[in-house]
Amino acid sequence: MKSKFRQIALLGKYHLPQASGTRPSARPILESIAQFLHTQGCEVFLEKDTAANSGLTGYPVLDVKGIGQQCDLALVVGGDGTMLGFGRQLAEYKVPLIGINQGRLGFITDIPLTHYDTTLLPMLRGEYDEDRRVMMHAKVWRDGHCVFDALALNDVVVNRGSTSGMVELRVEVDGNFVAIQRADGLIIATPTGSTAYSLSAGGPLLHPSLPAWVMAPIAPHTLSNRPIVLADTGEVAIDLVAGRDASANFDMQSLASLLVGDRITVRRSEHHARFLHPRGWSYFDTLRKKLHWNEGVA
């Protein structure tokens, strides 16, 4: 049976430690996967930076826009951070992604590198479960002008400076005043991001199917200031009232420096990230494995 996907892009994490020998170099891994895809009758394309940094040759090279326009599947080799980056970039093109994890099992890169071929084979033939993840569209406003615009799949985080004290933030939801937050920062997380920084800050886990966000303060001055779950249908606005060297981070992969008086607005993006998992994939199985639930239970 031939592959359902005809044109597949191979995207990878290529900055890997090789001196210790604990992790294989990127090129043999990518080359092995590319050859496997070729044997399944797929036309393989390499993402531009992946090709340049891995040194892999012999396959046509595309930038992200080209992948979005020409490919019907993206195969991402790396970890959750790599998937987050490419997931955001390819969302507008509606290209689905499959994640192969080079290290520990990830929350969204759930195919281990060992024996990847036996897992991929049925997926390429159409035997998979699709997982659509909501994203956030955030903007930083200064003097009425948008000075930064970004998408986030995990979270939008407003942080204090590394050497300064707490920040003071005025928070609104759908134009309704919520509170003045005095804390080290504030996290607005999607269900995908509820297992990331928000979890470390005491936020709840949200199932990916929920149309909701978590708003979680980071080390709040007032202990009664707790995480809250919000509907993702409106807008969250955060004004920086006080605090030096503050910044806004988007999936911890892009950053905007903030000035007092800046406003950060967060709305649901019109785009979704599309992840494909092996047939029978379960979110709860992933939680058990990653969070080590039931350890010691016979």
Q: Which residues are catalytic?
A: 80
Residues in the chain: 298
Determine contact, residues 263/244, Cβ cutoff 8 Å. no
Instruction: Report the alpha-carbon distance of residue 157 to residue 264 in Å, rounded.
Output: 10
DSSP 3-state of 80 = helix
With both helix axes pointing from N to C terminus, report the angle between 26-39 and 116-124 in degrees, rounded to the nearest 10. Answer: 40
Give the integer Cα–Cα distance in Å for 166 and 160.
Answer: 6
Buried b (16+ CB within 10 A) or exposed e, 50-62: bbeebebeebebb
CB 166: neighbour CB atoms within 10 A? 18
Q: What are the two backbone dihedrals, phi and then psi, of residue 243, each rounded to the nearest 5 degrees? A: 135, 135
